[in-house]
């Protein structure tokens, strides 16, 4: 019978057989029974919050999976990190997708972890007996942030490099061990390849091991203790009866699975649609340029979004606070705030007893608003900031940002408060109010963030005391009070910092206590109850190096600096330390700058409009001769150390009444030194000594020395009197960008130039050259783009031997730079024709001072074209045909190149790496440039060869563009297919969940 | 007993299993494509010898260099003309070497021997060594190009 019964029993399925086999060996039934009894609390609260931990875990698993895949192509190293990422994104099939999913998933994981943390906070799920679950979760949040921070550097691009440099720098603010920790973290003093190695080890080994252990512990706690039931938020509602439970397996687990499928779908959509992130500061991962530690940082570099609040706080702190450096104080505040959050299970004693603790709900909301306000400010909300710019430098923009951020936070905060009051009957809003007050004061009362925080905290303390609160909330308030009132109280200190003189001497300066009495008397002198030396002058003196300070002491002792006003004049000069020493070494300057000697005073700070601007003391001490040791006495006679005016002074040049009328003595006077190679060798051996010889042959020299025309330019006209700088100084009158203006002082002055003619002795010299030059391609390049290769006046006319080039030589001057065009022209049919007509070669088509950027339109076969006008008069029909051919070919090539360029831009907008396309596009640009150059042959054969090369390069670019578009379509279609598959799967999963729910009946 | 009737419940299970398989396919396809190495291994099909390599080739009469992901044996034949052959033995893929004394190419792993034009003389190698194109000479630029590859 039994055998018959056995044969009647249905055969066990394969799954059941495997389970039985495993159970026999590992005794899994007990575990299955335990998990089978596991339930998720179901009550009036939303179930949504229970899924956040699972979602965080899902994103973490995605991180591990994609991270392992990335490791197969990523090579850590200074010369490989960036390159391997570039290769991965650009060439490896789906490399872009794996990286994009890794990055998106990292951000979504951080978001999910934070949401999970706040959901636990609001549900009071941290309360006894789940304190350790909270602590382990908090530690995991720290590790997740560590993942983000360490992973940021690994592509080794500009953004990651500077963000890491700034981010790691704050570590040094930790007392005692900070500098050591910084070195350990960076693997040296600076962010270098050593940092990269360390961050790589952290990211792929240390942190994964640590977080895996913590996840295990966290899950163990949850399995042992079960999921927490939310504690009622408000005191107004009576706790309800024990909620029902949903079986974890399979009901809740299937829901988890459905949510994960949806998350994966969202992840895929985001990764394909925005492969380099949404472009919000702190959420962008375009590779950009490779890290270059020697390249200056650019403004607008920001850390990832979850660090923005600390980043903004660092900006809100002054340089010094309470004797601490700003970052140190900021780090202290951040640590205290983090410590409060960590210690919440200890502080919230009501929740521990199962009683409502509305103040901690309020504290959680306030925490979110606090972080939100700082993050919004860091995001520069309310203003449009071009990429790579920082609006914080502009007070108006900073005020707009603060105002917009405050409006957002006030709106969100008030809406949240209204919701809490109306939906849950909350009555505790003190923390929320304090945070909103801080935002409002900062934005609308223009108080600093710290001062606003201080005021808000005082108000909060008053509210809490008035409310007679007890327990943990008061402890939290006390901690917050310590953290925020202190900085606020220090605002006075912050303000007074600049005003309060520091009497202690800094290294490298003479201690104030040891200053000689005679100098101290001048330093502290007062008139009409006001100090003669203002704070700026005093600070200037204190900042001087000790040897410069000692020169002042000596001058005060000898009487060279005899009064406080004189001292104030010298210290008011906006000059560097070295020049201070020069002044104090020259008695001429000291006497002639002393306000107490009104008969002697010559030098003082003067404006540019002052008729005696050349006596501006700041200019004099900047003079190349003065700085080289050739001081006043070098030209005027006498000696710098003379205490009195010597009889030698002024004997080296003609008498005053002569020398101003007849300037012809000046070239020879300067040439006393500048024509002597022996003398110049002692100062500047590289400087030519033939200037006077050249000058004599120049137009200017002929007029001044030959015709005694003192209006003609001489040395002083172009180089200045005092304040002569070397020509590579941007302040020099003969600096290349200043030359047009210097020449224009005379040549653009119609009244001054009146009577001067060209070589024909009839045609007046025009005075519109400067105006024309400024609009010309050369002028725009030199003055607009600061292109040092563009010629100024001297580029074509020469310097000391300045002469206008004759018509037949104009092209030779142009060929100094445009040699290729000249060579092509030499073999062209135009060469002979131009010679026959006596036309200057280049100038005929391109002009002289008003040379415009050549355009393709110059080739047009109509009155607007350049060729047409001459050809109509002198040309043959075939010349017109050739011009038309040139025009048609070039415009066609240009238009197709433009279209391809726009195509490439579109691909870049869609997130493709277009470096290779841009490189090919630049090759097309070069080929097109060569084609354009070829028209100077005025012959079809050479031109056709170049235009075909351009056409071929465009073909290559077109093919490359087309390939990328194919890839784009493939991605789009793949996404549609994957989304459809995931949606079908998710839909069926939903039906299965309903089926399971029906099977298991209502919650027990 | 006949097969289980296709109830709604059964339908959902079948469709769920099918869609799960399709979904896994959508997930695994990019992963498998990602894991499949590029055909050219990311390398070039053309290599240009450095001065040091040219010196070594002159001094030793042969050189093993890289061309993209291939190992290439460059040698000077009796007419002092440069030749290039794959340095990968066709037997088990060991790197071969030139034996000037015998005028042969030899694989030390299993004693495979090749003539200087790559033909198998003796030993287990089943196929001759592939030829590479050499351009230039030792006085100027020497380039090695993989046959059929784009430079």
Going A498 to A503 to A508 to A510, the CA torsion angle's sign is: positive
Closest Cα in chain A, distance from residue B126 (Å) = 34
Q: In this predicted structure, what is the pLDDT of residue A3?
A: 43
Region A679-692: mean pLDDT is 88
- Angle (nearest 5°) at CA A755 between A752 and A759: 115
Region A185-196: mean pLDDT is 92
Q: Who's near B41: CB < 8 A, 6+ residues apart?
A: B68, B69
Chain-chain contact of A985 with B16 (C-beta, under 8 angstroms): yes
CA distances from A313 to A449, A563, A688 (A): 9, 47, 58
Token match 């079809």: residue?
Answer: A940
Q: In this predicted structure, what is the pLDDT of residue A474?
A: 55
* A6-20, A24-38, A744-758: segment of lowest average pLDDT: A6-20
Which residues are B84's β-sheet partners?
Answer: B74, B132
Q: Say whether A157 sits in a helix, a strand or coil.
A: strand
Peptide bond into B116 cis (omega under 30): no
Closest Cα in chain A, distance from residue B55 (Å) = 28
Going A471 to A477 to A483 to A488, the CA torsion angle's sign is: negative
CA distances from A804 to A206, A704, A743, A807, A809 (A): 74, 17, 13, 9, 10
* A192-206, A456-470, A773-787, B102-116: segment of lowest average pLDDT: A456-470
Beta B112-114 vs A324-325: how paired, if at all? Answer: unpaired
Measured CA to CA, the distance from residue B11 to residue B17 in angstroms comes to 10
Q: In this predicted structure, what is the pLDDT of residue A241?
A: 47
Measured CA to CA, the distance from residue A186 to residue A307 in angstroms comes to 19
Measured CA to CA, the distance from residue A799 to residue A822 in angstroms comes to 24
Report pLDDT digits (tens) over A591-634.
888 877 766 667 766 777 777 777 777 788 788 888 777 888 88
Phi/psi at A561 (nearest 5 deg)? -110, 105
Size of interface A-B (CB pairs under 8 A): 55
Contacts of A98 in chain B (CB under 8 A): 30-31, 34
Q: Are A874 and A865 in contact (CB under 8 A)?
A: no
Measured CA to CA, the distance from residue A144 to residue A916 in angstroms comes to 35
Measured CA to CA, the distance from residue A841 to residue A847 in angstroms comes to 10
* Average pLDDT across chain A, whole number: 85
Region A193-197: mean pLDDT is 94
Q: In this predicted structure, what is the pLDDT of residue A628?
A: 78
Convert A370-395 to b/e letters by CB count within 10 Å (16 or more is b).
bbbbbbbbbbbbbeebeeeebbbeee
Minimum CA–CA partner of A991 in chain B: B12
Q: In this predicted structure, what is the pLDDT of residue A233?
A: 55
Interface test with A, best of B30, B41, B68, B150 (most A CBs within 10 A): B30
With a cut of 80, say whether residue A771 has pLDDT above it. yes
Using the Cβ of A263 and the Cβ atoms of chain B, whether some distance falls under 8 Å is answered with no
Chain-chain contact of B31 with A95 (C-beta, under 8 angstroms): no
Chain-chain contact of A978 with B20 (C-beta, under 8 angstroms): no
Closest Cα in chain B, distance from residue A98 (Å) = 8
Q: Say whether B19 sits in a helix, a strand or coil.
A: helix
Report pLDDT digits (tens) over A458-494.
988 888 887 765 545 555 555 555 555 544 544 444 4
Q: In this predicted structure, what is the pLDDT of residue A477?
A: 58
Using the Cβ of A98 and the Cβ atoms of chain B, whether some distance falls under 8 Å is answered with yes
Chain-chain contact of B33 with A93 (C-beta, under 8 angstroms): yes
Q: Say whether B75 sits in a helix, a strand or coil.
A: strand
With a cut of 60, say whether residue A682 has pLDDT above it. yes
With a cut of 90, say whether residue A81 has pLDDT above it. yes
Measure CB to CB from residue B9 to each of A94, A982, A995 and give the nearest one. Answer: A995
Region A188-193: mean pLDDT is 90
Going A468 to A474 to A478 to A480, the CA torsion angle's sign is: negative
Contacts of B16 in chain A (CB under 8 A): 985, 988-989, 992
Q: Of A158, A90, A340, A77, which is closest to residue A914 (Cα–Cα)?
A: A90
Q: In this predicted structure, what is the pLDDT of residue B49?
A: 93
The tokens of A795 are what? 């580029």
Q: In this predicted structure, what is the pLDDT of residue A5?
A: 45
Q: Of A334, A328, A343, A292, which is closest to residue A173 (Cα–Cα)?
A: A328
Report pLDDT digits (tens) over A547-571.
888 888 888 888 888 888 888 888 8
Q: In this predicted structure, what is the pLDDT of residue A425?
A: 84
Q: Say whether B49 sits in a helix, a strand or coil.
A: coil
CA distances from A394 to A379, A398, A400, A481 (A): 15, 6, 10, 32
Chain-chain contact of A988 with B22 (C-beta, under 8 angstroms): no
Chain-chain contact of B22 with A984 (C-beta, under 8 angstroms): yes
Region A769-776: mean pLDDT is 93
Using the Cβ of A991 and the Cβ atoms of chain B, whether some distance falls under 8 Å is answered with yes
Measured CA to CA, the distance from residue A118 to residue A102 in angstroms comes to 24
Token match 């990335």: residue?
Answer: A70
Q: Are A463 and A430 in contact (CB under 8 A)?
A: yes
Token match 């002491």: residue?
Answer: A553
| Highest mean pLDDT: which range of A223-237, A483-497, B107-121 | B107-121
Which residues are B76's β-sheet partners?
Answer: B82
Comparing A375 with A32, the larger pLDDT belongs to A375
Measured CA to CA, the distance from residue A327 to residue A313 in angstroms comes to 9
Burial class (CB in 10 A: 0-12, 13-18, 19+), B15: middle
Residue A780 DSSP class: I
Report pLDDT digits (tens) over A900-912.
999 999 988 877 8
Q: Say whether A32 sits in a helix, a strand or coil.
A: helix
Closest Cα in chain B, distance from residue A2 (Å) = 21
Q: H-type helices in A91-171, by residue range? A: 95-123, 131-153, 158-169
Closest Cα in chain A, distance from residue B23 (Å) = 6
With a cut of 80, say whether residue A141 has pLDDT above it. yes
Q: Are A947 and A893 in contact (CB under 8 A)?
A: yes
Helix count (H) and strand count (E) of chain A? 50, 6
Comparing A183 with B147, the larger pLDDT belongs to A183
Q: H-type helices in A827-914, by residue range? A: 829-837, 841-846, 866-874, 877-909
Minimum CA–CA partner of A996 in chain B: B9
Measured CA to CA, the distance from residue A215 to residue A53 in angstroms comes to 10
* E-assigned strand segments in chain B: 46-48, 62-67, 70-76, 82-86, 97-99, 104-107, 112-114, 120-122, 131-135, 143-145
Phi/psi at A484 (nearest 5 deg)? -110, -30
Closest Cα in chain B, distance from residue A70 (Å) = 10
Measured CA to CA, the distance from residue A643 to residue A631 in angstroms comes to 15
Q: Say whether A355 sits in a helix, a strand or coil.
A: coil
Q: In this predicted structure, what is the pLDDT of residue B150?
A: 46
Q: Are A385 and A300 in contact (CB under 8 A)?
A: yes
Using the Cβ of A639 and the Cβ atoms of chain B, whether some distance falls under 8 Å is answered with no
The angle, 0 to 180 degrees and rounded to 10, between the axes of the packed helices A395-424 and A358-378 is 150
Which residues are B145's β-sheet partners?
Answer: B46, B133
Which residues are B46's β-sheet partners?
Answer: B145
Chain-chain contact of B35 with A69 (C-beta, under 8 angstroms): yes
Chain B residues at the A interface, defined by Cβ less than 8 Å, are 9, 12-13, 15-16, 19-20, 22-23, 25-27, 30-31, 33-36, 38, 42
What pTM did the predictor assign?
0.66
Chain-chain contact of A984 with B19 (C-beta, under 8 angstroms): yes
Minimum CA–CA partner of A99 in chain B: B34
Measured CA to CA, the distance from residue A894 to residue A898 in angstroms comes to 6
Chain-chain contact of B26 with A94 (C-beta, under 8 angstroms): no
Q: In this predicted structure, what is the pLDDT of residue A388?
A: 62
Region A704-713: mean pLDDT is 91
């Amino acid at each position: 019978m039994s055998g018959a019964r056995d044969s009647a029993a249905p055969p066990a399925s394969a799954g059941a057989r495997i389970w039985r086999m495993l159970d026999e060996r590992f005794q899994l039934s007990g575990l299955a029974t335990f998990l089978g009894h596991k339930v998720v609390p179901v009550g009036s609260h939303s179930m949504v919050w229970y899924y956040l931990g699972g979602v965080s875990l899902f994103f973490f698993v995605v991180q591990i999976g994609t991270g392992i895949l990335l490791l197969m192509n990523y090579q850590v190293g200074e010369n490989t990190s960036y390159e391997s990422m570039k290769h991965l994104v650009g060439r490896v099939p789906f490399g872009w997708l794996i990286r994009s999913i890794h990055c998106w998933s990292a951000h979504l994981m951080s978001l999910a972890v934070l949401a999970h943390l706040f959901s636990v906070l609001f549900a009071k799920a941290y309360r006894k007996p789940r304190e350790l679950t909270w602590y382990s979760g908090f530690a995991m949040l720290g590790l997740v942030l560590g993942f983000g921070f360490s992973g940021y550097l690994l592509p080794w691009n500009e953004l990651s490099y500077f963000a890491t440099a700034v981010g790691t720098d704050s570590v040094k603010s930790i007392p005692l061990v900070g500098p050591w920790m910084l070195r350990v973290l960076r693997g040296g003093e600076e962010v270098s390849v050593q940092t990269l190695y360390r961050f790589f080890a952290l990211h792929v080994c240390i942190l994964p091991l640590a977080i895996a252990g913590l996840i295990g512990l966290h899950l163990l706690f949850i399995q042992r203790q079960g999921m927490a039931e939310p504690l009622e938020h408000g005191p107004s509602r009576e706790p309800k009866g024990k909620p029902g439970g949903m079986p974890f397996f399979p009901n809740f687990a299937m829901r988890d699975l459905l949510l994960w499928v949806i998350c994966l779908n969202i992840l895929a959509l985001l990764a394909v649609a925005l492969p380099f992130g949404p472009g919000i500061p702190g959420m962008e991962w375009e590779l950009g340029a490779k890290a270059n530690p020697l390249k200056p940082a650019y403004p607008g570099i920001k850390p990832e979004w979850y660090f923005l609040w600390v980043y903004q706080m660092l900006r809100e702190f002054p340089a010094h606070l309470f004797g601490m450096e700003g970052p140190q104080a900021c780090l202290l505040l951040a640590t205290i705030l983090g410590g409060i959050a960590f210690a919440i299970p200890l502080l919230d004693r009501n929740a521990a007893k199962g009683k409502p603790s509305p103040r901690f709900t309020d504290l959680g909301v306030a925490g979110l608003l606090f972080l939100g306000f700082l993050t919004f400010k860091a995001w520069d909300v309310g203003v449009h900031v071009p990429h790579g710019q920082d609006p914080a430098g502009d007070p108006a923009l900073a005020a707009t940002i603060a105002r917009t951020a405050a409006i957002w936070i006030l709106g969100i905060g008030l809406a949240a408060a209204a919701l809490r009051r109306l939906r849950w009957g909350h009555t505790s809003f003190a923390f929320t109010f304090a945070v909103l007050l801080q935002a409002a004061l900062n934005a609308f009362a223009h108080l600093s963030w710290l001062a606003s925080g201080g005021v808000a905290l005082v108000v909060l303390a008053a509210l809490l005391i008035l409310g007679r609160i007890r327990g943990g909330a008061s402890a939290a308030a006390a901690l917050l009070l310590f953290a925020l009132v202190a900085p606020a109280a220090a605002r006075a200190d912050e303000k007074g910092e600049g005003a309060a003189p520091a009497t202690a001497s800094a290294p490298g300066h003479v201690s104030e206590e040891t200053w000689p009495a005679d100098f101290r008397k001048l330093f502290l002198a007062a008139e009409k109850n006001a100090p003669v030396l203002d704070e700026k002058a005093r600070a200037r003196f204190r900042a001087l190096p000790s040897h410069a300070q000692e020169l002042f002491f000596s001058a005060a002792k000898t009487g060279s600096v005899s009064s406080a006003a004189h001292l104030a004049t010298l210290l008011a000069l906006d000059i560097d330390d070295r020049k201070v020493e020069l002044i104090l070494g020259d008695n001429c300057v000291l006497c002639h700058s002393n306000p107490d000697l009104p008969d002697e005073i010559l030098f003082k700070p003067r404006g540019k409009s002052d008729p005696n601007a050349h006596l501006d003391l700041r200019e004099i001490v900047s003079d190349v001769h003065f700085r080289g040791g050739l001081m006043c006495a070098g030209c005027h006679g006498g000696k710098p150390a003379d205490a009195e005016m010597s009889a030698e002074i002024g004997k080296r040049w003609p008498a005053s009444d002569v020398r101003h009328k007849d300037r012809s003595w000046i070239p020879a006077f300067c040439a006393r030194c500048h024509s002597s190679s022996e003398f110049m060798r002692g100062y500047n051996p590289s400087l030519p000594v033939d200037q006077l010889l050249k000058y004599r042959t120049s137009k200017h020299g002929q007029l001044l020395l030959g015709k005694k025309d003192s209006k003609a330019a001489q040395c002083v006209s172009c180089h200045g009197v005092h304040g002569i700088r070397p020509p590579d100084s941007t302040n020099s009158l003969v600096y290349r960008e200043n030359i047009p203006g210097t020449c224009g002082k005379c040549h653009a002055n119609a009244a001054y130039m009146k009577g001067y003619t060209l070589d024909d002795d009839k045609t007046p010299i025009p005075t519109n050259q400067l105006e024309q030059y400024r609009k010309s391609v050369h002028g725009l390049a030199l003055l607009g783009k600061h292109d040092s290769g563009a010629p100024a006046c001297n580029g074509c006319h020469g310097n000391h031997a300045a002469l206008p080039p004759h018509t037949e030589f104009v092209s030779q001057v142009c060929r100094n730079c445009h040699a290729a065009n000249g060579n092509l022209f030499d073999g062209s049919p135009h060469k002979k024709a131009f010679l026959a007509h006596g036309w200057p070669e280049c100038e005929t088509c391109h002009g002289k001072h008003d040379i415009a950027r050549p355009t393709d339109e110059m080739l047009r076969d109509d009155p607007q074209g350049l060729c047409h006008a001459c050809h109509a008069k002198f040309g043959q029909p075939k010349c017109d045909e050739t011009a038309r051919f040139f025009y048609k070919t070039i415009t066609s090539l240009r238009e197709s190149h433009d279209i391809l360029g726009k195509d490439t831009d579109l691909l870049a907008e869609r997130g493709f790496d277009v470096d290779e396309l841009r490189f090919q596009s630049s090759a097309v640009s070069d080929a097109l440039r060569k084609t354009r150059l070829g028209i100077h042959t005025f012959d079809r054969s050479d031109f056709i060869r170049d235009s075909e090369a351009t056409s071929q390069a465009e073909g290559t670019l077109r093919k490359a563009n087309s390939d990328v578009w194919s890839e784009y379509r493939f991605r789009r279609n793949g996404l549609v297919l994957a989304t459809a598959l995931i949606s079908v799967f998710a839909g069926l999963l939903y039906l299965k969940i309903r089926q399971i729910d029906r099977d298991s009946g209502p919650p027990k | 007993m006949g097969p289980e009737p296709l109830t709604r419940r059964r339908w959902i299970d079948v469709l769920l299993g099918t869609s799960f398989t399709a979904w896994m396919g959508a997930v695994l396809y990019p992963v498998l494509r990602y894991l499949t190495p590029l055909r050219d291994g990311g390398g070039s099909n053309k290599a240009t010898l450095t001065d040091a390599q040219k010196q070594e080739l002159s001094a030793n009469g042969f050189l093993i260099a890289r061309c993209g992901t291939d190992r290439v044996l460059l040698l000077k034949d009796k007419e002092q003309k440069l030749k290039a052959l794959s340095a990968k033995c066709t037997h088990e893929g060991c790197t071969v070497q030139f034996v000037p004394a015998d005028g042969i190419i030899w694989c030390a792993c299993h004693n495979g021997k090749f003539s200087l034009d790559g033909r198998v003389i003796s030993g287990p190698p089943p196929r001759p060594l592939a030829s590479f194109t050499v351009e230039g000479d030792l006085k100027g630029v020497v380039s090695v190009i993989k046959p059929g590859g784009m430079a």
